[in-house]
């Protein structure tokens, strides 16, 4: 991975997505839409137990803290349908309300 995320957007050829293995049987796909928006998707059917949910939460926390921005987990193509969010300033998860 490049040290500067801007290098990902300077390419003229679409590279598709990156696949990140969170644990066996659980993957996230990373899509770069621009410097201000990175999307990760995963299949919720793969989150079958507490260990899988813990892996998702750890991933969301790591991304949010690395970006120093809140991370939101929502239903696909429905940004207002929030499932959970993580705020790195408060170091806290919140469920949907």
Bridge partners for 29 per DSSP: 19, 41
Amino acid 12: pLDDT: 43
DSSP, res 6: H
Share of the chain above pLDDT 90, in %: 40
Amino acid 97: pLDDT: 57
Terminal-to-terminal C-alpha distance of the chain: 36
pLDDT digits (tens, 9 = 90+) for 16-59: 678 889 999 999 988 877 667 778 889 989 999 999 999 999 99
DSSP 29-88: EEEEEETTEEEEE--GGG--SHHHHHHHHHHHHHHHHHHTS-EEEEETTEEEEEEEEEET
Which residues are within 8 A (CB) of 6 and not within 5 positions of it... i.e. 6 or more apart?
A: 35
Listed residue (77, 22, 30) closest to 52, CA to CA: 22
């Amino acid at each position: 991975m490049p040290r500067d995320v801007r290098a990902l957007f300077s390419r003229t050829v679409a590279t598709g997505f990156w696949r990140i293995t969170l644990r066996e049987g659980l993957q996230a796909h990373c899509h770069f839409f621009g410097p201000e928006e990175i999307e990760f998707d995963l299949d919720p059917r793969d989150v079958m137990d507490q260990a899988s949910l813990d892996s998702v939460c750890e991933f969301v926390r790591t991304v949010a803290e690395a970006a120093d921005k809140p991370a939101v987990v929502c239903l696909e193509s429905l940004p207002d349908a929030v499932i959970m969010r993580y705020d790195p300033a408060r170091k806290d998860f919140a469920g949907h309300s």
